């Protein structure tokens, strides 16, 4: 288990925001072990994540999504894709602890990580990758190594070639120039 300060160092002292971890563990049915060990997430991580939302939803908004005649999925907004922060949200499934990507404009839902904890770990490792980026020459090779690390943390994140993380890493790994 990493200490809070380790995450803060990776993301930057002025680039973290607290989330109500203990309250959510009490309030939501998702198992405790699906939550990050610390109560902070990054504000921004390069091109993969932002918690700066200016659209229809605020950070930590609860969305009750009807997924069937008698079934509702309770989602908590934990961030967005920076390039489309009004329409592509990262949400915590409060029932299971997994992180899903919600396409607001078209109502799509796709898995991102099996748990919020794994999502946080991905953002941690990605931030370190970005911090030590030494240019395009070695980026693809470093991205491939990072993908291997992340696959060990959450294999399900890469199970579909069209998933969020698969597409992001395919782009990184193919950038040779």
Same domain for 92 and 129? no
Q: For residues 136 and 67, state if they share a domain.
A: no
Structural domain harbouring 166? 120-174
Clarify whether residues 167 and 82 are in a common domain.
no
Both 138 and 82 in a single domain? no
Q: What is the pLDDT of residues 33-56, one digit of tens each?
A: 999 999 999 999 999 999 999 889
Query: pLDDT (tens digit, 9 = 90+) per residue, 3-17?
Result: 999 999 999 999 999
Say yes or no to pLDDT of 70 above 90: no
**pLDDT value, residue 175:** 60
Closest CA to 84 of 122, 57, 124: 57
Structure tokens at 161: 């070639």
Say yes or no: 141 and 82 in one domain. Answer: no
Share of the chain above pLDDT 90, in %: 84
The answer on pLDDT for 160 being more than 50 is: yes
Partners of residue 151 on adjacent β-strands: none
Token pair 């309250």 is at which residue?
23
Q: Quote the number of domains for the chain.
A: 2
3-state SS, 62-126, equals EEEEEEECCEEEEEEEEEECHHHCCCEEEEEECCCCCEEEEECCCCEEEEEECCHHHHHHHHHHH
Residues 104 and 152 grouped into a single domain: no
- 96 and 145 in a single domain? The answer is no
Q: What confidence tier does 173 reach under pLDDT thresholds 50, 70, 90?
A: confident
Instruction: Band the pLDDT of 177: cuts 50, 70, 90.
Output: very low
pLDDT recorded at residue 176: 47
pTM for this entry: 0.95
Does the pLDDT value for residue 133 go beyond 80?
Answer: yes
Tens of pLDDT, residue by residue over 74-99, are 999 999 999 999 999 999 999 999 99
What pLDDT shows up at residue 85? 95
Q: Are residues 79 and 36 in the same domain?
A: yes
Indicate the residue among 91, 114, 137 that finishes a domain.
114
């Amino acid at each position: 288990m990493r200490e809070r300060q380790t995450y803060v160092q990776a993301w930057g002292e002025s680039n973290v925001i607290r989330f109500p971890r203990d309250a959510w563990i009490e309030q939501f049915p998702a198992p405790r072990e699906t939550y990050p060990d610390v109560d902070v997430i990054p504000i921004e991580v390069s091109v993969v994540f932002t918690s700066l939302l200016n659209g229809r939803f605020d950070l930590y908004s609860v969305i009750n999504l009807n997924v069937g005649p008698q079934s509702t999925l309770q989602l908590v907004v934990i961030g967005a894709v920076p390039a489309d922060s009004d329409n592509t949200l990262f949400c915590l499934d409060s029932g299971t602890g997994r992180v899903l990507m919600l396409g607001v404009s078209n109502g799509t839902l796709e898995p991102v990580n099996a748990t919020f904890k794994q999502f946080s770990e991905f953002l941690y490792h990605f931030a370190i990758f970005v911090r030590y980026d030494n240019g395009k020459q070695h980026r693809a090779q470093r991205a491939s190594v990072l993908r291997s690390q992340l696959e060990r943390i959450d294999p399900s994140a890469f199970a579909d070639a069209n998933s969020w993380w698969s597409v992001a890493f395919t782009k990184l790994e193919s950038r040779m120039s």
